[in-house]
Amino acid sequence: MLKKLAFLIVLASLLLAACGTAAPAATQAPAATDAPAAAATDAPAKVYTYADMTLCYPQLGAESDWRTANTASFKETAEQLGVNLVFSDAQQKQENQISAMRTCIQQGVDVIALPPVVEDGWDAVLQEAQDAEIPVIIVDRSVSADKSMYVSHIGSDMVLEGRKAGEEMNKLLPNGGNVLEISGTTGSGAATGRAQGFRETLNANITILDSQTGNFNPTEAKPVAEAFLKKYAGEIDGFFIHNDGMAEAVVEALKAAGVKPGEIKIVSVDGTRGGFQMMIDGWVQADVECNPLLGPQVMEMALKLMNGEKIDAEVLTNETVYYPDNAAELLPTRKY
């Protein structure tokens, strides 16, 4: 009953926000003590703990070290807090994520945390979760669905990451030049945002010769890099690569083509240990951070939802840019 009331309160605040009220966030639910439950019964409101929580996490896949770290963050945090985590791996397929969500809805989980593989196509299943009064937190990448369809988004500002990458490329190529882009999964918020931010920021004297997807996956990125090196031989000044795993594949292709570290400038994204090693070895000149360790924040928010507490409609991770000069010092401290 309390769970239902808390959900209704969150939903009501979402509707108010959607109607243009002054509320800044879609999730300004009153505190649990304001809930009308008190009127119906004099029994004190139950305060839920992590041990009461069943959290559904339909992970999108295992395409990168970033994703492995993200999965570990959820599993380890759940273990530490005593949360019952319903985990699945969709192997990059949206239909698998949707069907995992439907299973969770049938099971009556408390909260669903969804890391969407792509932005579009979530409306129907988000509606089903809403009908079942199960709040959905969007994690990591964004969705294009209306904000009233989910309670919050926790993750990175992907456009900002792309802007940072553009600024780094501008610094690396002050006299201009030609760059190639190897992007992430087509239609994903991460790839779309990074591509947008990069283009917004890049100096006019830098030309993007070509852009192809590597699907955030080193195995898929390698032939793309090889084909680029053949097609644009002698013309390439830089690469913007949407994650470190794909950058590692590009470096392999560069080595095979006889290119020396630093001859072609590389800006990558994530800040994995692999990214740090490439900076130490002179291949990558800037690595834009994207933090995968989202488990604790998501579970804290899920508990607040269960207790009818206020949450923020958008929680963006504070991120930096890493450089080769202190990469060797930082590498031992990296958690992913």
Site for ligand AHR, rule CB under 6 A: 63-64, 66-67, 140-141, 190, 216, 243, 269-270, 290
CB 194, CB 169: distance < 8 Å: no
HSE, CB side, 13 Å, CA atoms: give it for residue 56: 25
CB 217, CB 63: distance < 8 Å: yes
Across the beta sheet with 321-322, the strand order is 206-213, 177-183, 238-241, 265-270, 286-289, 321-322
Vertex 73: Cα angle to 68 and 79 (nearest 5): 125
Give the nearer residue to ligand AHR in terms of CB position, either 154 or 190.
190
For residue 120, count CB atoms less than 10 angstroms from its CB and return exposed for 0-12, middle for 13-18, buried for 19 or more. Answer: exposed
Give the nearer residue to ligand AHR in terms of CB position, either 140 or 157.
140
Give the nearer residue to ligand AHR in terms of CB position, either 13 or 192.
192
Beta bridge partners of 240: 181, 267
Minimum distance of ligand AHR from residue 139's CB (angstroms): 9
Minimum distance of ligand AHR from residue 335's CB (angstroms): 15
Spatial CA neighbour of 3 closest among 84, 109, 106: 109
Give the nearer residue to ligand AHR in terms of CB position, either 110 or 244.
244
Minimum distance of ligand AHR from residue 216's CB (angstroms): 4
Minimum distance of ligand AHR from residue 284's CB (angstroms): 14
Minimum distance of ligand AHR from residue 272's CB (angstroms): 8
Give the nearer residue to ligand AHR in terms of CB position, either 67 or 153.
67
Phi, psi values for residue 286, rounded to 5°: -155, 140
